[in-house]
Amino acid sequence: MHSAEGWEELLLPEIERQQQMGKEVAFRGDAAFAKPEIYEALEARGVKYVIRIPANDSLERHIAELLPRPVGRPSQKPLVEYKGFLYQAASWKTARRVVAKVEHHAGELFPRVGFIVTNLSLPSRAVVRFYNKRGTSEQWIKEGKQAVKMTRLSCHRFRSNEVRLWLSVIAYNLGNLWRRLVLPPRIGKWSLTSLQQLLVKTGGRLLKHARYYWLLLAESHLTRRLFGAMVRRIGLLSMPAG
């Protein structure tokens, strides 16, 4: 199935729902959403968008001055340049703003070129940065697949798979809350997979005495100091009313 298949049934009702709640909606999409009917639907609803579009000869002529490799000894750091311009494809009813990003990397003969169509009024570099956050969302999805196996839905019944998916989402949210609210800053950006392997999967013993229980944990990455810091942070969290 094409990734933009059925976009009207999925996208438009959600836009209307968010706008009815008083929220400003912005849309990011890959080249599968590079369709004039999508641009027109978003524009008619006052939605800001950044959508990647495939390169072609006409687009590359607009940035011809950026494509040749700079003269002189190449830098080890990538040389990145941006350019915005108006462009109208044959299937478009009106011209729209396109932002190009051109990267020259050491050891590569040809530059890396990307084009984005947008109705944002931000500087070209800011438009590209906003678009790149789409990859951040994909990383969260990838993290959920790896850490809590949220796509492991092998039951024969749909309802059973639905329950498994809900449990995976709950587990992911709990892990993310743990990472955001409890972990010290120095490990607060660890992936959930790393947290599982280095902190959760820790050997331990629970000993019962006459008046106390003792929890003995093997010290590797989960040290006594780190465990104590997490317990103190949990104790500082406010409890919901009621």
Answer yes or no: do 107 and 161 share one domain: no
Answer yes or no: do 68 and 176 share one domain: no
Q: What is the 3-state secondary structure (H, E, C) of 37-98?
A: HHHHHHHHCCCEEEEEECCCHHHHHHCHHHCCCCCCCCCCCCEEEEEEEEECCCCCCCCEEE
The answer, yes or no, to whether residue 106 has pLDDT greater than 70, is: yes
Answer yes or no: do 116 and 172 share one domain: no
Answer yes or no: do 104 and 208 share one domain: no
Answer whether 128's CB lies under 8 Å from 116's CB. Answer: yes
Q: Among 169, 168, 190, which Cα is nearest to 179's?
A: 190
Angle at 2 between CA 84 and CA 56, to 5 degrees: 30
pLDDT tens digits for 28-38? 999 999 999 99
Q: Point out which residues pair with 26 in neighbouring strands.
A: 48
- Any alpha helices (H) in 182-223, and if so which ranges? 192-195
Answer yes or no: do 51 and 103 share one domain: yes
The answer, yes or no, to whether residue 2 has pLDDT greater than 60, is: no
Answer yes or no: do 126 and 181 share one domain: no
pLDDT (mean) for 86-97: 95
Q: Could you give the number of structural domains in the chain? A: 3
Helix axes 158-181, 124-147, angle to 10 degrees: 120
Structural domain range at position 230? 201-236
Domain end, chosen from 132, 159, 177, is at: 132
Identity of residue 32: A
Measured CA distances, 163 to 33, 108, 144, 167, 171 (Å):
31, 48, 16, 6, 12
Whether 139 is in a domain gets the answer no
Sign (positive/negative) of CA torsion 39, 40, 43, 45?
negative
Answer yes or no: do 217 and 177 share one domain: no
Question: pLDDT: is 201 or 79 the higher one?
Answer: 79
Please state the φ and ψ torsions of residue 204, each to the nearest 5 degrees: -165, 170
Residue whose tokens read 């390169």: 55
Q: What is the pLDDT of residue 1?
A: 43
Sign (positive/negative) of CA torsion 153, 7, 32, 1?
positive
pLDDT tens digits for 164-209? 999 999 998 988 888 888 888 888 888 888 888 887 777 788 888 8
pLDDT tens digits for 111-141? 999 999 999 999 999 999 999 988 777 787 8
Whether 85 is in a domain gets the answer yes
pTM recorded for the entire structure: 0.68
Q: How many other CB atoms are found less than 10 A from the CB of residue 77?
A: 9
Largest separation between any pair of C-alpha atoms in the chain: 82
Answer yes or no: do 227 and 122 share one domain: no
Measured CA distances, 47 to 16, 40, 51, 123, 129 (Å):
10, 10, 12, 18, 18
Lowest-pLDDT range of 51-55, 69-73, 125-129, 142-146: 69-73
Tokens found for residue 132: 């790149």
Whether 176 is in a domain gets the answer yes
Answer whether 179's CB lies under 8 Å from 195's CB. Answer: yes
